[in-house]
Structure formats: C-alpha cells, structure tokens
Amino acid sequence: MVRFLARRLAYMFIAFLCISLVTFMLMKMAPGSFFNANFQVNGVSAVAGSYGVSPQVMDALIKYYHLNDPWYVQWWYYVHGFLTWHMGTSFEYPGTRTVTIIDTAFPFSVRLALMAVATGVIIAIPIGVTAAMRENGWMDVGLMFFAMLGTSLPAYLVAVLLIVLFALWLHLLPVIGFTHPQDFILPVLSLALPMVGALSRYLRNSLIDSLHSEYVTGVIAKGGSLSRAVWRHALRNSLLPMITVVGPQLAGLMTGTVFIEEIFDLPGLGHYFVGAANVRDYPLIMDSALLYATVILAMNLLVDLTYGLFDPRIRRAGDLG
Amino acid sequence: MAALLEVRNLAVEFHRDRAVSRAVNGVTLSVERGKSLGIVGESGSGKSVTVKAIMRLLPRYARSASGAVLLEGQDVMRLSEGRMRHLRGRRMAMVFQDPHAYLNPTKTVGSQLVEPLILHRLAAGAEAKRRAVDLLRLVGIPSPEVRFTQYPFEFSGGMLQRVMIAMALIADPDLLIADEPTTALDVTVQAQILRLLRKLKEDRGMAMILVTHDLVVAAQTCDEVVVMYGGTVVERVPSHKLLTASAHPYARGLIACTPRISNADTIPTPIAGQPLNLREPLPGGCLFAARCPDRVAQCTEVRPQLEDVAPDHQVACFVAAGAAKEGAVHE
Amino acid sequence: MSMPTLKKRTMATLMWGRFRRNRAAVLGGAFVLFLILCAILAPVIAPYSYMQSNFLATYQSPSWQHWFGTDELGRDMLSRLLFSLRTASLIGFGAEAVELTLGLLVGAIAGYLGGAADTILMRVVDVVYGFPSLLFAIILVVMLGHSLFAILIAVAATSWVTMARIVRSQVIVVKQSDYIAAARGMGANWWQILRRYVLPNSLGPIAVTVTFGIPANMMVESALSLLGLGVQPPTPSWGALIANGEQAMFSFPYLLAFPAVTFAMTLLAFTFFGDGLRNVFDSKSMH
Amino acid sequence: MSETPLLEASELTRRFRSRQGVMSAVDRVSFRLMRGEHLGIVGASGSGKSTVAKLVQRLLPATEGHIYYSGRDVTNLGERALRPLRRRIQSVSQNPYASLFPNKSIGQNIVEPMLLHRMGSPKERMDSAMRLMRQVGVPSEQFYAFPHEISGGQQQRIAIARALALHPELLILDEAVSSLDVSIQAQILHLLVELQGQYSLTYLFVSHNLAVVRMICTQVAVMFLGRIVELGPVSEIFSHPAHPYTQALLAAVPDFSSARPAGADVPQEVDSEPEPPSPYRLPSGCRYRTLCPIATQRCESEEPQLRTVGAGQHAACHYSGGAEAEPDPARTEREGVR
C-alpha cells in the first residue's frame, strides 16, 4: 500500500511538472506580454500606464519578475514559488501577492464546488435508487427523462434557465450577491443539477445491473426484501464505481465554477483567472492553473485510493505487496 | 403421507421485447418430507425456472400464468411478498450453480452467512456467529473461524459451494433446493459436494430438490427423479429405475446419449433434431413428437398426460403407457 | 450446384431495425440531421444577414417579419441563431474530428501493441487528463487569438484523451476476445486483424463517444464565447447570444429564451440520439 | 518409431508472472502425436490443459521447450513463416459464440479463412461454405443468419465448419463439446468421428470430461498443475490407471455402474475438501503429494519423472507399476514416525 502510494505520488509530481511546463511554454510562446503588449501595442497601457511607468521602472519590473532570465529559470521560479507557497506578485494587481488573491478567492470556489457536490450526491442517490427499484415503470422513465435533461445541459445554461424561472417569473431568489445563504441557492443548484443528471443515471444503471445480478437473488432467496438487497448490498457495490464518476465531476466542477462565477458575478478564483488570462497576468495565470491542476491530480489520486480501500480484493492484495 | 411440497400444473411465461417465451408449460410434481427429488433435463427444459418459480425468485418480466405451488397445503403463489419473505430462507432455502456469483463480493462470507438468522430473527451477534462457525465445520470447512472473516474471492469454488450450503441450512429449512450445485466444479469436488448433500439430507430429515442436467448425478443422489422436456414433466421415476427402466422415449434417448466412462468404446446415439424453440408457438400434440423415434399419429394431435406405468412410476407418453397396460394385461 | 436465393443481411440492417424501435432516438437523430442541414444551408435559408444592423427595428418582438425578433442593433435573431448554429457545428464536428483522429491513433496503438508503447502513451494521457481543461482552453484561446481555428484547437486540446482511453479499452477488450484468437489461428496478419475484426467490432462505443463528444464541444465553445473568449463579433455564437440575452432578459426575455431553448434542444437531440446508439451497440441487447 | 510425429512437444513450459508471483501453467510437458492418432488432454480446471492447446497453436509464446510440426521446429517461427502452417492446424474452442466473428453472418464466418488465404473466387468460396454448412448439419439457407441468432449447438457446428474450411491436418478441440447438452454433444461427437474419416484429421482433444475423451481419443495425457502425470493409450489408462491422481479422477466420475440401488448407502462422514496446492507455492518433490493417499518421504524430496509402467503407458509416480511398486523403506519409515 505504501509502495503504491509512493509510486502514485511520484507520477502525480511528474504530471504536475509537465502541466506547469506546458502552461508556461504556451504563455511564453503567445505573442505579446503584459508589459510590451500594454506599451507597444496599445501605446499607453491602461494598467501600467496608470502607474506612470517609465522605462527605468520597466527595467526594474522586468528584473523583479525575472523576465530576462533563461526560460527554465523563469519556469522554475513559478514552480518553486508555488510549491513553497511563496508565490510572486500579480502584474495586474501590483503589490498584491497572488497568494493573497488565491487565499481569498480559492476557498470561495472550493466552497461552491463542495456545496454543489454534496447537493448533487444527496439528490442523486434517492433518485437513482427510486428509478432502479421501479425499472422501466413510469416513475423510472420520468425520472430518467429529467436526468437526461440534466446531463445534456451545461451548468451555465441551467443557471440561465434557473434565473429565468426563479428571479424573472417567480421573484423568489436573488441573482446577485454572495453574502446571504440564499444567494448561494441558484449558483449551487446550477452546478448541482447537471451533476444530479449524470450521477442518478449512472447510479440507476449500475443498481439495475446489481439487481439483475445473482447475488441480489441470493439475498432474496435468504428471505431478504428488495429494499434490503438495495440498501445493504447493491448500493454499497454501486457507490464504489460511482466514486470514479464523482471524482472527475468534482474536478470538473472546480473549473466549471468559472462560468457560474461569471454569470452570478461571484468573487471566486475562476473570476480572477478569466481576468488574468485576458491581460496576460503571468503569475496569476500560472499559479491558479497550477492550483487547479494540483486539485485535479489530487482528486484522481483520491479516487484510486478510495477504490482500493473499498474493494476487499485490492485491499487484500495490498496486504501482500 | 402428505407431500411437503406439491406443484400443480405450473406454467411460466417470459414476456420481453414483445416476444413470449414459454419456459414452463404445466409442471406437476411433489416432494415428501425426508425425501429427495431430482429434476433432470437439458437447457431450456424449464427445470431451473420451475424451482425459481417455487421460491418466487423469477424476474419481473416472468408471468406465472397458472398453477399452484403448495407448501404443506398453502399456496405460496398467492402469498403477499411480505409473507413470502418469511418462507424464503426459513422454510425453503436454495443453493445455486455459481457460488461466486451468488455472494456479494464486497462483504465477508461470515456476514452473509448469518444473514438468514438475522432476517428471520433467529439469532444475532455472537450467537449467530457461533452457529455459523459450527455449521461451517459441519460442512467440512477447515479453520472455520478464519474462514468466517474472509471474502468470497478468497475461496475455491468447492469451498464456496460448501459455504452456500451452510448458508442455506443455517435457518433449518424444511426444503432445500439445489440448482445445478456442482455444474461449475471439477469432478473430484463434485463427488464430495454430492456426498455432503446426501448426508445432510439424511441427518436433518429435510426434503431436497436437486436440479441437474446429469442423469447419473440425479440417479445417484436422489430417491426419485422427474425428467423434463420443453417445460413439462415427461416422466417421474424412482431413481433406481431411471437408468435401466425408464419408459419415455426422451428419457431413454438422454440415457443413450450420456457418455459413460465404463462403456465408452462406442459413441452414444444422439437424439435426432434440435431442442424445442420455446419462442415459437408450441406444437399441439406431444412436445417431443418431432424428435421421437416411436411417434404414432396420436402424438401430434393430443398432448399426453402423466399416466401410471407402475407404482411410483408415471410417464407422459401414449406409446409407453400403452405398452405398460398391455404388459399388465398379459400378466 | 444450384445456389439457393438468399436474402443478404448485414449487421447494419439488424442495427437499424433495433434503432428504429427507440422513438426518442429516432426523433433526436432526425433533429440532428435537420440541424446539420440548417448549419450547411444557413446562408441560403437565413432571411436576413446576421450582421446587418437596422437601427429602425431594434428590440422587435417576434413577428412575421422577424420570427425570433431582433436584438439591440436591429439584427434578425433567427438569422443570428442559424449562423451561430453554423459556428457551433464547425467547432463541434471539427474538434470532434481532431479528437477522433488523435484518440484513434493513440488509443489503438496503445491498446493493440500493449507493453512499453501502452505504458508511455497512457502516461501522456494521464498527464493531459490532469490538465484543468477549461482553464487550459481559456489560456489557449487567449494566447492563440480568437479565430475559429484557435477555438477548435482549444476545445480539442484536452478532450481527445477521453477518446483515446475509450478506444484503448475497447481495443483491449476486442483483442482478448476468442474471435481474435480464432483469426490469428487462421493465419490473419496484424493488419487484417486490425482492419477486419478489431476496428469493426470496436466501432460501437467509439460512435457513441463521438455522438456525445460533439455536443460537449459545442458546450465548451459556447462557454468560451459566454466569457467573451469565443469567435469575435459580429460572427454570432450561442454563448454570446445567451450572454447578450441575459443582460436584457428583464425587458426583452425572448432575446434570452430563443437562443437558450434552441441550444438546449440541440444538446438534447444529440443526447437522445447517442443514447439510442448506445442501446443498439450494447452487447447485452444482442441476445 | 521411425515415423515422424505430426506434432511433438518437447519440455514445453509456459510461465505466467502476476502480482502473486510466477507460476508455471505448463511445466516441461512432452508428448508425441502421430498422424491419425487422437490425443486427449484431461485435468481439472487450472491444470494447464488449455494453455497447452494455445502453445501448440502458437497463440501463446512458449517460455521454454520446443514444438515440432512434422519434424520441423516451429517454436520460434515468425508470423509470416507461420502462415502456411496455420492452414494445417485449426482449432475449435469451448465457447463457439465468442469465437465466431460477431459482425459477420455464419456463412461469412466460414468464408473468412478462405478469404484470408485467398482461396478460390468469391463464388467458389460461397459454394464451399454452403457445402460445409450442409456437411455439419446447418441448412445453407441460414447463410445470412448471425451467430447470436442460432442455438449453441448450431454455433459449434459453424465453428467446426469454419475450422475445416482450410482443410487442416490437425484439429485442436479445446473443450469443444463441454458447454453442450448431452443430446447435442452426442450429435457433435458423431460429426467429429465422421469428419475425421472424411478429412483424415488428427485431433488434439482437450477436455475435463473423461468419458468423452475415452470415446474420441486413442491416447490420453492426464495433467495436474501444469505437469503430465500420466500418458499413454486410452485403453490402458482407463482400464488400469497407474497414477494416484488418475485413479482419483476416474473414481470421481459419476457412472452408470455405480448408480445407486434402491434404498441406498448413506455416506457416513463428511470429508473436508483437501485444498490443492497453490500453483505459486508448489510443494517440494511431487506436486500431488499433499493430496496423495500413498505419499511418502521420498515424494517430498524427489520429483517423480514420467517413466514406463506398462504397454506404452507412462506415469510420474514413484510407486506406480513396475519394479518400484513394492513398499519403499522410506514409506515404512514414515509410518513408523507416525
């Protein structure tokens, strides 16, 4: 188990380096940078210009940001900064370390994503179980139709439709704001509903496979009821593969919040990222991209580990090796 | 002596994808307390569906069109699902063909073994475990305490089949139904499991139904055998007469084409033709008529019913029944 | 010897028969076909130009002249929707073609060869799988510019790995099947095996993935344009139309409703069609 | 013995590596199969009998040892050089449905090998496919039926017809009748006997069913955990098996002669199942000794090799047949210790 973990962590680190390298290269290869784009393309930069940057200051800035060093030094500067959590200063928000931005914005995004996943799983399980226990009945067909709607619509479209429904017609919920609990209902629902669609469909199909499998017949033959077979046996076995679905969903949500943050004007990291990409704020782009990559990689690792913990076959094999 | 279980004219149809499959077409059989009944037939004969219908374990798309399944006179087909649950595992228990498939792979063998006790509120906790471990020892599993905490994948097929047998017996049922319990096992293991089943039946005085495609296994293990073809019983015969004195042409054909190790220099005589296609409408007369070497005109017109040809020996065949009557007259 | 007259049947006829019974899938498929036609014929059937503004007819409610109304510049919404369908289809199908090519190549090589080639390729796939795909697309679009081609690359850049994984696992399943062993036993060489048996029998899940991949690509495209990172105006795109409609939704709800509903219907049509395909190819339904 | 065997395996070994370690699925297996003879390979599941079939067909590479075909070493031939050979060796596997091409009709399945070897014109191929179909007893009107539309028995007939399409010399039947009902099994066995005469085939017949092997084969090899423990003519081995494992195997087969008379015997005790050794951790010496009723200390220290115990009969047991059959000093010693 320890060896397995060590190997996975090593892979994870290599993947992290690759991702940082590719992101860095792309950023560098692109025409224009924060400074020369603002100076040479636009004449006077909107941002840098407002600080009255002279060529001397520019030189100082370039030096400060290591922009004249060889590429690998610059790259390492980002990676090292990220790994030691001593990240550099944002271009766009001079004087503000990206750590500060990340520190306030990232927890916000994480909270949003976690609330969405929790909501999604809590709604999806009863829907999946209900549909599976009434396989091909009208309840099943109806629920799965709505689940299909959920899977085929992106979160932001759901957000728009929810806004139309709750804010425009019913005047029930606020659309803008992020201070009161009710402000979060629509954003969380927008993220959760597409997930409910995917998860409940998955759960239903996997439960039905279980319900058709012999071991459920075995439980019934002992005198167990269908609901015991579902809750005590089949659900447990279906939740296991569902972890592999939830993991990437959660990772996807982390970036999916970008659009929701835009639509509802929420101060999450995605919101900052879009701004940073538009003005080529290298440090902020690099650091948030690396952060997201780390989260996704960690999530994938977690999925594998959980899988191992739940499956006795893998767990026992782990004992041996 | 009244039968423990009596099945009367049971019929089961499967409706799926707008197609009808007539799996069981009127099965009548009975088992007495302390006796064992073998149900033999080839795939598609309806033997497995019959016992699953007795336990009411058929999938939802199965329709039991008619008939009665009487357990000590009580028709289980008319029971509510809740009442039925009290019977399953408690009065009638079942052992299946593939033990690895019939156990939940993610739970320990022990937790599944005590489940009937907990479900039927017979025992729980340490008491349930003690009874389970005792039973594991009884069915011949070495170091049962250790085995109790292991998962199904840590068992060989033969070992796991012993666990399944223990699980079926733990609530002390009146009737044990074993559905092809040794088909997936090697011959040496098969011999051990069959011996175990016979021994347990004797010791506990319960009734047993053994479903198998192997006539020799049925003849060696059971007191009485019914032979099925096309979802009907074509012959009911005491097991000692099965291999030597069976009367139905299908039963005789099956015996003739079973490879025998003692006399294997000749290739067995096959039964002509293809098995019945249950998705097509059934023929009007005898279901076996199309493949039967002894067919007479009557066979394609009227479906023969089980008739006595000797005490305890019944056949659904005009020719065989006729011959028996003649024999009786001549005597 | 006389040849009995036999009616030739192929797998395709069997599958069509099975597909036809799923009404939702047939409807979805028909709608997808209709959408493709609309996208191709947009310049012919659009009643107006998508960029021609008319300041005398801004914010017109739906009418006989303008079925879907007009926007703040007086542009015909139906025409703009038709052209945004064209944009979405170009990205949807174009990016899917890129994904399919890359995924088939990588997945088939990894799955078929196995061993070191498989390990290396799958490590690469794992790394790409770790990429935050939407952020990566955003970076790519910002860096490469907002051309159709850049968006296409941005959409396909990370999503090909899904295809590669599916192709690989499918190829492995097929490769281990008894009929491939039979083909080897007959003396078929690796190319014959790949072309005659592995690919035809891997097609099902790949076709299903493609069917679900196209609307997924459309979603990414519209999401990018929602952020203002899509194709540049005046070329219309669903995301931009929806973003636009959202701003005016309180006064002119039809500006939001039409693009949102058409887009949703398009995505649904693909989903239902894909679901039908999956049922057809599902090996369990073969029996 | 001057004749060259059609197929010869010499010290054939196949090892598999897995998480649990290394195991020899097939361990130093040697046999000779003469043209017109039929060799049956029997054993329990996991004995390596199917692996032998795959090895001689060159579907799996051998770890060690050699395969000779008509005297020619084909162990390391490349795929291209193997191609003409493949025409002469064909196989039918246990699961006909899985081995037929699912995307082709049953007729096209039979055409396929001819197509691969560019035999005849399309018309000729179709004609001979239909002829083969009729020969194995499937109406040629069903040419365009698909494998999933016909019964298991029919599928096996088609698989046999497909194997015959290339006119092979050696037909490998890997549990080819095991999944069939007895009435269909008997039909297929008849078909096999009939075809063997017509095409002068040599069969390598892998099966766990001893009765079927006895009917079809002239020679039999009994395998236990990767080793051949007994080898010889069917008539000898079935009438007086020399190896304790063969004896146990034969005793376990339910048979007509041992059918229970009325009011039968009741087994007195429940035997617990002796666990066969793990293929990853074989016992020292003889690998059957932990299950063997006559095992001694010698069996623990010395691995028995196949040796002649009768007319063409070979067994890998220190105590079967021949001069060494009388009690060994080591054995009495063991009993003394007990």
Q: Tell whether the torsion through CA atoms of D252, D253, D257 and D259 is positive or negative.
A: positive
A163, part of any domain? yes
Give the orientation angle of helix A235-264 with respect to helix A282-310, to 10 degrees: 170
Q: What predicted TM-score, i.e. pTM, was given to this entire model?
A: 0.83
Spell out the residues 6+ positions from residue D47 whose beta carbon is closer than 8 angstroms to its own: D223, D224, D225, D226
Interface partners of C (3+ CB pairs, < 8 Å)? A, D
Residue listed under structure tokens 């997936």: B184
Q: pLDDT at position D258, please?
A: 55
Q: pLDDT at position B75, please?
A: 92
Q: Which two tokens stand for residue A227?
A: 């609901």
Spell out the residues 6+ positions from residue D200 whose beta carbon is closer than 8 angstroms to its own: D36, D169
C4, part of any domain? no
Interface partners of B (3+ CB pairs, < 8 Å)? A, D
- Which residues of A fall within a CB distance of 8 Å from D19? 317, 320-321
The alpha carbon of residue B178 is apart from the nearest alpha carbon of chain A, in Å, by 12
C-beta atoms of A30 and C143 within 8 A: yes
Say how far apart CA A204 and CA A197 lie, in whole Å. 11
Q: pLDDT at position A175, please?
A: 63
C-beta atoms of D249 and B196 within 8 A: no
Q: Is D41 helix (H, G, I), strand (E, B) or coil?
A: strand
Nearest to C130 among A149, A252, A293 (CB): A293
The alpha carbon of residue C266 is apart from the nearest alpha carbon of chain A, in Å, by 9
A141, part of any domain? yes
Say how far apart CA A101 and CA A95 lie, in whole Å. 11
Q: CA distances (Å), D292 to each of A51, C169, D299, in order?
A: 93, 44, 10
Residues A160 and A65 in one domain: no
**For residue C286, pLDDT beyond 90:** no
**For residue C12, pLDDT beyond 60:** yes
A57, part of any domain? yes
- Which residues of A fall within a CB distance of 8 Å from C28? none
**Residue C169 near chain A (CB below 8 Å):** no
Across the range A156-169, mean pLDDT stands at 79
Compute the half-sphere exposure of residue A144: CA atoms within 13 Å on the CB side of its CA. Answer: 23
Q: Is B13 helix (H, G, I), strand (E, B) or coil?
A: strand
D326, part of any domain? yes
**b/e map A187-209, b = 16+ CB within 10 Å:** bbbbbbbbbbbbbbbbbbebbbb
- Per DSSP, helices labelled H in B205-293 are 215-221, 239-245, 249-257
Nearest to D87 among C179, C187, C197 (CB): C187
Is C75 within 8 Å of C52 (Cβ atoms)?
yes
The alpha carbon of residue D276 is apart from the nearest alpha carbon of chain B, in Å, by 10
The alpha carbon of residue D209 is apart from the nearest alpha carbon of chain B, in Å, by 9
Task: Render pLDDT for B43-92 as a digit per residue (tens, 0 to 9).
Answer: 889 999 999 999 999 887 777 778 899 999 899 988 998 999 999 999 99
Q: CA distances (Å), C56 to each of B119, C47, C49, in order?
A: 78, 17, 16
Residue A114 sits in a domain whose CATH number is 1.10.3720.10
Residue listed under structure tokens 């999933």: D148
Task: Render pLDDT for C23-57 as a digit per residue (tens, 0 to 9).
Answer: 888 999 999 999 999 888 888 887 777 777 777 77
With 0-12 CB in 10 A as exposed, 13-18 as middle and 19+ as buried, what is B121?
A: exposed
Task: Render pLDDT for C182-218 as a digit per residue (tens, 0 to 9).
Answer: 999 998 988 899 889 988 888 888 999 999 899 989 9
- Number of folded domains that form chain D: 1
Residues A111 and A56 in one domain: no
Q: pLDDT at position A179, please?
A: 66
Across the range A13-20, mean pLDDT stands at 86
Task: Render pLDDT for D144-197 as a digit per residue (tens, 0 to 9).
Answer: 999 988 888 889 999 999 999 999 999 999 998 888 888 888 888 999 999 998
Say how far apart CA A263 and CA A269 lie, in whole Å. 14
Which of D23, D12, D19, D33 is CA-nearest to residue D225? D23
C-beta atoms of D275 and B274 within 8 A: no
Residue listed under structure tokens 């799983």: A121
Say how far apart CA C257 and CA C274 lie, in whole Å. 25
Phi, psi of D45 (to 5 degrees): -65, 140
Say how far apart CA A59 and CA A65 lie, in whole Å. 10
Say how far apart CA A274 and CA A277 lie, in whole Å. 5
Last residue of a domain, one of A56, A86, A116: A86
Q: Which two tokens stand for residue C92?
A: 């949807």
Nearest-by-CA chain A residue for B53: A221
Q: Is D102 helix (H, G, I), strand (E, B) or coil?
A: coil
Say how far apart CA C127 and CA B276 lie, in whole Å. 56
Say how far apart CA A245 and CA C63 lie, in whole Å. 46
Residues A104 and A197 in one domain: yes
Across the range B114-133, mean pLDDT stands at 93
Task: Render A145-182 in DSSP notation, one character per residue.
Answer: HHHHHHHHS-HHHHHHHHIIIIIIIS--S-SS-SSSGG
- Which residues of D fall within a CB distance of 8 Å from A319? none
Across the range C75-102, mean pLDDT stands at 90
C-beta atoms of B106 and A214 within 8 A: no
Q: Which two tokens stand for residue C26?
A: 């047939």
Q: pLDDT at position C239, please?
A: 83
Residues A149 and A240 in one domain: yes
Its domain, for residue A82, covers: 39-86
Across the range A202-209, mean pLDDT stands at 89
Q: For chain D, positions 94-153, list CB contacts with chain C under 8 A.
A: 95, 98-105, 112-113, 116-117, 126-127, 130-131, 140-141, 143-146, 148
Across the range B228-247, mean pLDDT stands at 91
Residue D209 sits in a domain whose CATH number is 3.40.50.300
**For residue C284, pLDDT beyond 90:** no
Task: Render D285-318 in DSSP notation, one character per residue.
Answer: S-TTTTT-TT--HHHHHS----EE-SSS-EE--T
C-beta atoms of C270 and A152 within 8 A: yes
Say how far apart CA C136 and CA C127 lie, in whole Å. 13
The alpha carbon of residue A241 is apart from the nearest alpha carbon of chain D, in Å, by 23
Say how far apart CA D214 and CA B206 lie, in whole Å. 39
The alpha carbon of residue D221 is apart from the nearest alpha carbon of chain A, in Å, by 35
Q: What is the mean pLDDT of chain D?
A: 86
Q: For chain D, positions 166-205, list CB contacts with chain C under 8 A.
A: 166
Task: Render A87-100 in DSSP notation, one character per residue.
Answer: --B-SSSTT-BHHH
Q: pLDDT at position D54, please?
A: 93
Spell out the residues 6+ positions from residue D22 whose beta carbon is closer than 8 angstroms to its own: D15, D16, D280
Say how far apart CA A228 and CA C131 lie, in whole Å. 41
Its domain, for residue C174, covers: 77-282
Nearest-by-CA chain D residue for A314: D19
A22, part of any domain? no
Mutation choice for B interface testing from A222, A243, A315 by most B CBs within 10 A: A222
- In one-letter notation, the amino acid at residue D44 is A
Nearest to D148 among C3, C9, C286 (CB): C286
**For residue B265, pLDDT beyond 70:** no
Residues A129 and A203 in one domain: yes
Please report which confidence band the pLDDT of residue A65 belongs to, taking 50, 70 and 90 as the band edges. low
- Per DSSP, helices labelled H in D96-243 are 96-99, 106-116, 122-135, 152-164, 182-199, 210-216, 234-239
Nearest-by-CA chain B residue for A217: B57
Q: What is the mean pLDDT of chain C?
A: 84
A12, part of any domain? no
C-beta atoms of B96 and A218 within 8 A: yes
- Which residues of D fall within a CB distance of 8 Å from C189? 79-80, 83
C-beta atoms of C142 and A278 within 8 A: yes
Residues A68 and A116 in one domain: no
Task: Render pLDDT for C113-158 as a digit per residue (tens, 0 to 9).
Answer: 888 989 899 888 888 887 777 878 888 887 777 788 888 998 898 8
pLDDT above 90 covers what percent of chain B?
52
Q: pLDDT at position A50, please?
A: 45
Is D7 within 8 Å of D69 (Cβ atoms)?
yes
Task: Render pLDDT for A235-261 as a digit per residue (tens, 0 to 9).
Answer: 888 887 777 777 767 767 766 777 788
Task: Render chain C in DSSP notation, one character per residue.
Answer: -PPPP-----HHHHHHHHHHT-HHHHHHHHHHHHHHHHHHHHHHH-SS-SS---TTSTTPPS-SSSTT-B-TT--BHHHHHHHHHHHHHHHHHHHHHHHHHHHHHHHHHHHHH-HHHHHHHHHHHHHHHTS-HHHHHHHHHHHH-S-HHHHHHHHHHHHHHHHHHHHHHHHHHHHTSHHHHHHHHHT--HHHIIIIIIHHHHHHHHHHHHHHHHHHHHHHHHHHHHTT-SSPTTS--HHHHHHHHHHTTTT-HHHHHHHHHHHHHHHHHHHHHHHHHHHHH-GGGG-
**For residue C283, pLDDT beyond 60:** no
Mutation choice for B interface testing from D187, D225, D239, D256 by most B CBs within 10 A: D256
D18, part of any domain? yes
Q: What is the mean pLDDT of chain A?
A: 77
C-beta atoms of B195 and D267 within 8 A: yes
First to last CA, chain B: 30
Residues A178 and A53 in one domain: no
Nearest to B115 among A222, A236, A240 (CB): A222
Which of D14, D138, D131 is CA-nearest to residue D67? D14
The alpha carbon of residue C184 is apart from the nearest alpha carbon of chain A, in Å, by 33
Its domain, for residue D320, covers: 7-335
Say how far apart CA B308 and CA B289 lie, in whole Å. 20
- In one-letter notation, the amino acid at residue B291 is R
Q: pLDDT at position A211, please?
A: 85
- Which residues of C fall within a CB distance of 8 Å from D100? 179, 182
Which of D254, D70, D4 is CA-nearest to residue B259? D254
Q: Which two tokens stand for residue C223?
A: 């999401």
Nearest-by-CA chain B residue for A134: B60
**Residue D148 near chain A (CB below 8 Å):** no
Please report which confidence band the pLDDT of residue A13 belongs to, taking 50, 70 and 90 as the band edges. confident
C-beta atoms of A215 and B86 within 8 A: no
Which of D40, D29, D26 is CA-nearest to residue D204? D40
Q: pLDDT at position D261, please?
A: 45
CA of residue D124 relative to chain centroid, distance: 34
Residues A225 and A291 in one domain: yes
Is D49 within 8 Å of D42 (Cβ atoms)?
yes
Say how far apart CA B212 and CA B189 lie, in whole Å. 16
Mutation choice for D interface testing from C13, C178, C197 by most D CBs within 10 A: C178
- Which residues of D fall within a CB distance of 8 Å from A317? 19
Nearest-by-CA chain C residue for D78: C189
The alpha carbon of residue D224 is apart from the nearest alpha carbon of chain C, in Å, by 25
A113, part of any domain? yes
Angle at A52 between CA A50 and CA A54, to 5 degrees: 145
| Size of the A and C interface in Cβ pairs below 8 Å | 116
Please report which confidence band the pLDDT of residue A56 belongs to, taking 50, 70 and 90 as the band edges. low
Residue C174 sits in a domain whose CATH number is 1.10.3720.10
Residues A214 and A156 in one domain: yes
A8, part of any domain? no
Q: pLDDT at position C62, please?
A: 77
Last residue of a domain, one of A51, A86, A121: A86
First to last CA, chain C: 34
The alpha carbon of residue B264 is apart from the nearest alpha carbon of chain A, in Å, by 37
Nearest to B106 among A214, A228, A237 (CB): A237
The alpha carbon of residue A289 is apart from the nearest alpha carbon of chain C, in Å, by 7
Which of D264, D269, D244, D267 is CA-nearest to residue D325? D244
Q: What is the largest CA-CA distance in chain C?
A: 82
Give the orientation angle of helix D182-199 with respect to helix B249-257, to 10 degrees: 50
D1, part of any domain? no
- Number of folded domains that form chain A: 2
The alpha carbon of residue C223 is apart from the nearest alpha carbon of chain A, in Å, by 7
A107, part of any domain? yes
Say how far apart CA B249 and CA B257 lie, in whole Å. 12
How is the beta sheet containing B74-75 ordered, strand by strand? B19-31, B5-16, B62-71, B74-75
Q: B55-69, B176-190, D112-126: which has the minimum mean pLDDT?
A: B55-69
Beta-sheet pairing, B36-40 with B207-212:
parallel
Residues A50 and A164 in one domain: no
Is A225 within 8 Å of A287 (Cβ atoms)?
no
- Which residues of D fall within a CB distance of 8 Å from A315? none
**For residue C180, pLDDT beyond 80:** yes
Nearest to B270 among D45, D190, D262 (CB): D190
Q: For chain D, positions 14-53, list CB contacts with chain A under 8 A.
A: 19-20
**For residue D312, pLDDT beyond 80:** yes
Q: pLDDT at position A93, please?
A: 67
C9, part of any domain? no
Q: pLDDT at position D326, please?
A: 43
Please state the ipTM of this predicted complex: 0.81
**Residue D278 near chain A (CB below 8 Å):** no
C-beta atoms of A312 and B153 within 8 A: yes
Task: Render pLDDT for B16-33 as a digit per residue (tens, 0 to 9).
Answer: 777 888 899 999 999 999
Nearest-by-CA chain D residue for B43: D181
Residues A273 and A173 in one domain: yes
